[in-house]
Amino acid sequence: MDRIHITGGVPLNGTIPISGAKNAALPLMIASLLTGDTLELANVPRLADIAALTRILGNHGVDHMVVGKRPGQTTETGQTIRLTASNVIDTTAPYELVSTMRASFWVVAPLLARFGEAKVSLPGGCAIGTRPVDLLIMALERLGAQIEIDAGYVVAKTKNGLRGAEIDFPKVTVGGTHVALMAASLAYGTTVISNAAREPEVVDLAECLTKMGARIQGAGTPRIVIEGVARMNGARHEVLPDRIETGTYAMAVAMTGGDVVLENTRADLLHSALDILSTTGAEITQVPGGIRVRRNGAGIAAVDVTTDPFPGFPTDLQAQFMALMTLANGQSQIRETIFENRFMHVQELARLGARIRLEGDLAIVEGVDRLKGAPVMATDLRASVSLVIAGLAAEGETQINRVYHLDRGFEALEAKLARCGARIERVRA
């Protein structure tokens, strides 16, 4: 298995191009199942999760084409893909494929809406809590689907198509909102989603669905209204920038010190996280086409954080922020409200010398003067990258094992950091 070696203690200086958002690209690719026409997606990141979803869509019979490279494109700029679901041969998504990535479960919605049936394995994905799909199933049932769980599969059917309905989520769910949006787009009549997720990736999906002929209002607010249409068409859409990748590199600079411009990204995608980073002492400025992050000389101030659905502080940046706080002047308290059991990075950060105490959903971090490199183990996607950040700031060598977690969500991680002076390399097994 590949490893990453980091020799820490080097400030980051330079530019980092930000990729398209994994969490937007996945539902957008799944939306291709809603139509027999071609959906062209630009700025799609090259990631293991994207490859996994491509295999799942391929298994349903979706044609996948990568559009040739254009002059000036490097592997650090996203790819353009074309997906055509004109000949769907199978509405089953098998365990072997779905178990590797939770988001692949969302294929249930377009398959059911367009073909009246879907059989999809219960999902896998990062081991961060139980992560049930009860709310996704509830949304489909509200739209008139008959659903049974049979031998680890969700079997969904509808006799005369889905019907618009009121879907009131008792808890904000990104996946539930994606599923409801896709299913309701092809349902008969009007659907109202209450307590909808407001994440930028939901807005991106709604924009693409609208280009495909859907009638959607209110995406980005807690109340989304969808007028169902009988059929949808092809479209071209560019995936929005990855706000989690943006925030991750911003935190890396805040931790190591230095001066980096994050290109092809937008500050409005992560206001709360950038505000908090400024409070820790990093200097954040908007520049044309990106964000500049600097920290020179000043210490890192301890700041408390609670994760929340958008526009709150994202749970997907919690581990990275904790890494930063391990070197803060004083104590910070980090509360995780979205996922239980999302503190697996704590024991690995401790190997580098971090002082963190857990009390239920609260992590209490006592800042230390320095971290010292050590061998550590990646446990899930975001936890892994927190170890990279900590390793960049630690003295000496850090070796990160099980890096396949990183490949699921961070495109060209070593190359992007190395171009800013980081001493980081992958050792292939």
The binding site for ligand UD1 (CB under 6 A) comprises 23, 26, 102-103, 129, 131-136, 171, 173-176, 201, 315-316, 338-339
Amino acid at 284: I
Residue length of the chain: 429
- Residue 188: strand pairing partners: 163
Q: How far is the CB of 205 from ligand UD1 (least distance, A)?
A: 10
Query: In this structure, what token pair is assigned to residue 406?
Result: 């990183």
Instruction: State the nearest-atom distance from the C-beta of 169 to ligand UD1, in Å.
Output: 9
Per-residue tokens: 231: 């059929």
The CB density around residue 158, as the number of other CB atoms within 10 Å, is 21
The residue among 207 and 373 lying less far from ligand UD1, judged by its C-beta, is: 207
Give the C-alpha separation, 383 to 248, whole Å.
Answer: 11
Relative to beta strand 362-366, strand 290-295 is unpaired
- CA distances from residue 361 to 169, 174, 331, 337, 351 in whole angstroms, order as listed: 23, 21, 16, 7, 21
Query: In the annotation, is 420 catalytic?
Result: no
Q: Facing residues of 305 across strands?
A: 334
Say if residues 217 and 185 touch (Cβ distance below 8 Å): no
Nearest distance, CB of residue 314 and ligand UD1, angstroms: 6
CA–CA dist 176, 180 (Å, integer): 6
Nearest to 34 by CA among 102, 117, 94, 115: 115
State the nearest-atom distance from the C-beta of 339 to ligand UD1, in Å.
Answer: 5
Q: Which is nearer to ligand UD1, 108 or 323 (CB)?
A: 108
Smaller CB separation from ligand UD1, 180 or 403: 180
H helices present in 116-163, as ranges: 134-142
Q: Which is nearer to ligand UD1, 245 or 424 (CB)?
A: 245
CB-based closest residue to ligand UD1:
175
Contact 373, 400 (CB under 8 A): no
CB of residue 137 to ligand UD1, shortest distance in Å = 7
Complex with ligand UD1: residue 136 or 187, whichever CB lies closer: 136
**Number of alpha helices (DSSP H) and beta strands (DSSP E) in the chain:** 14, 24
CB hemisphere CA count around 420 (13 angstroms): 29
CB 292, min distance to ligand UD1, A: 26
Closer CB to ligand UD1, 129 or 375, in the complex? 129
The catalytically annotated residue of 103, 126, 224, 319 is 126
Walk across the sheet containing 283-287 and list its strands: 12-17, 258-263, 290-295, 283-287
Contact call for residues 208 and 34 (beta carbons, < 8 A): no
Q: How far does CA 375 lie from the centroid of its chain? A: 26
Q: Which two tokens stand for residue 208?
A: 């693409």
Q: How far is the CB of 221 from ligand UD1 (least distance, A)?
A: 16
To ligand UD1, the closest distance from the beta carbon of 240 in angstroms equals 12
β-pairing verdict for 258-263 and 12-17? parallel
Q: Which is nearer to ligand UD1, 102 or 416 (CB)?
A: 102
Residue 202 or 420: which CB sits closer to ligand UD1? 202
> Using CA atoms, how far apart are residues 75 and 416, in angstroms rounded to an integer?
11
Contact between 363 and 336 under an 8 Å Cβ cutoff? The reply is yes
Residues with active-site annotation: 126
